[in-house]
Amino acid sequence: MNGVLPAPLIRLREGQNVRLHVENTLDEDSSIHWHGLLVPFQMDGVPGLSFPGIKPRSTFVYDFPLLQSGTYWYHSHSGLQEQQGHYGPIVIDPAEPDPIAYDREHVIVLSDWTFLHPHALITKLKAEGGYFNRQKQTLFGMMKGGPEEEMSASDRAMWAQMRMDPTDISDVTAVTYTYLINGHGPQENWTGLFRPGERVRLRFINAATMTIFNIRIPGLPMTVVSADGQNVRPVTVDEFQIGNAETYDAIIEPAEDKAFTLVAESIDRSGMASATLASRMGMTAPIPPLRPRPTLTMKDMGMGGMDHGSMAGMDHSAMGHGAMAAGADAVTADHGGMDHSGMDHGGSHSMGGMNMRDKSLVPDSVKVGVGVDAIAMAPVDRTGDPGLGLEDVGHKVLTYRDLMSLTPNPDTRPPQRTVEVHLTGNMERFMWSFDGEKFSEGVEPIRFERNERARVTLINDTMMTHPIHLHGHFFELVNGHTGSYPRKHTVNVLPGGKVSFDLTADAPGDWAFHCHLLLHMHAGMFRVVTVRPLDGDAA
């Protein structure tokens, strides 16, 4: 956009009314979505839902008030244009004095780039789910041993019987992607300057199409002060995982006149983006090597700590034979407040004859057809997990449970009802959906009454992390800090896990609700959230 990648920074101030003229010079329809901004639904920028889109060689004027401050971003919501470079950062300065003190800032836009057309990516993934995975386990790797090859022979046999691949972490990897920081690859060494002793605010935006990143600055702690543009109580960490479309602000305080390397490692550790933070241009610091790639575990299958050895009698033949299967929930009712601590996940349960696509484990609303590989038998709340591969790194990694809102939650009414949504998929066929139904199948919207207070529980019936985004709203992520839940617009749902959030449906209109792994959304993991009545409607 405007000839640069990422698109230009848009800097605004809370309380302003902004008017943005977007000219489409393409030969196809386009759009701009203001990610995380609370705008009237007609200004949300989702073609076919909130407006018709912007026709070729025409202009659309977005006009809306700024009701918030923080770090956000904007991107196309048309086709797969986001993968082709249609994204950029937004910073909204607060109307009142900023509670976060800092001397200077740097906006850090993370992304992934390929010279393959995004439709070609989908074609290859449809042909072979693990097409871009070049880190599969091998006989040589098993013989070599080492921490990355700890899987037992029995576990290998079980995974093979289920036709799953525990190394299939990301659909698209560094085989085709170059990972970028502010549009610069690792060899270009983007540099952000500081003076020793300064408090530097780093505004991280994950604008990647298909890549979840792990962020660290070796030798320099980071104090996280904001998540998805909303201030949180400061928490000091050495590393954090950032899902697609999430934003985090962190304060660093480099005391020495030296350079530091900013590392953004892809979740599958097939590659990384790197940049330099230094007191002078031209300085560099060592770039750490890629760490051993992680592997999926029984927990990521939604089986918690079940005894692998007792799985010999499990009916794997009933599974869809996806190269990457899934996890779900033993649900029939509201599990938001269920205490799993008393459940026996220690391995005493015999799983003989159990069907991993057992429809009795999910409500009737979940369609268990060819698009669903498996149903997780014992999904658990994983908001206390740091993310795949980060459990034993030997330093402090941020978890969702570390996050507390800096100010009290604005609405503390108890939820009036629970809405349960299953994240479903078939990796081999590259089919992705909610509740087993793709958006193209004409599924009904998820309906809320205006100002209704509801608890939404997301249950991940797949073995892939999904960043789920709700347009037009912030929600309170249920993480144990009642009254100070962090307010977010996007949440990473770990494999075989579940998360809950409390939502006040205070924005009337029709809103997109989808996985922010762009190719998953394109494949069908998308729904409409409808909030009624609209302004002017009869009560």
Residue 101 neighbours by CB distance under 10 Å: 10
Mean predicted confidence (pLDDT) in 233-261: 99
Tens of pLDDT, residues 105-143: 999 999 999 999 999 999 999 998 788 987 876 665 565
Mean predicted confidence (pLDDT) in 24-45: 99
**Quick one: DSSP state of residue 146?**
S
Record the tokens describing residue 147, joined without a space. Answer: 């921490």
Q: What is the pLDDT of residue 141?
A: 59
CA 157 to chain centre: 31
Instruction: Quote the percentage of the chain above a pLDDT of 70.
Output: 84
Q: What is the pLDDT of residue 359?
A: 77
Contact 518, 209 (CB under 8 A): yes
Comparing CA positions, the residue from 528, 504, 472 lying closest to residue 40 is 472
- pLDDT higher than 80, residue 22: yes
Gap between the Cα atoms of 270 and 292, Å rounded: 9
Gap between the Cα atoms of 338 and 332, Å rounded: 12
The pairing of strands 446-449 and 417-426 is: unpaired
Mean predicted confidence (pLDDT) in 42-64: 99
- 27-44 burial string, b = 16+ CB within 10 Å, else e? eebbbbbbbbbbbbbebb
Instruction: Mention every residue, 6+ apart, whose C-beta is less than 8 A from residue 383.
Output: 399, 400, 401, 477, 478, 479, 480, 499
Tens of pLDDT, residues 66-109: 999 999 999 999 999 999 999 999 999 999 999 999 999 999 99
pTM for this one?
0.89
Tens of pLDDT, residues 478-532: 999 999 999 999 999 999 999 999 999 999 999 999 999 999 999 999 999 999 9
Domains of the chain: 10-97 (2.60.40.420), 99-133+168-294 (2.60.40.420), 295-539 (2.60.40.420)
Instruction: Quote the percentage of the chain above a pLDDT of 90.
Output: 77
- pLDDT higher than 90, residue 192: yes
Instruction: Mention every residue, 6+ apart, whose C-beta is less than 8 A from residue 498.
Output: 329, 335, 379, 380, 381, 382, 457, 458, 459, 460
Considering Cα of 181, then 184, then 189, then 191, what sign does the dihedral take?
negative
**Residue count of the chain:** 539
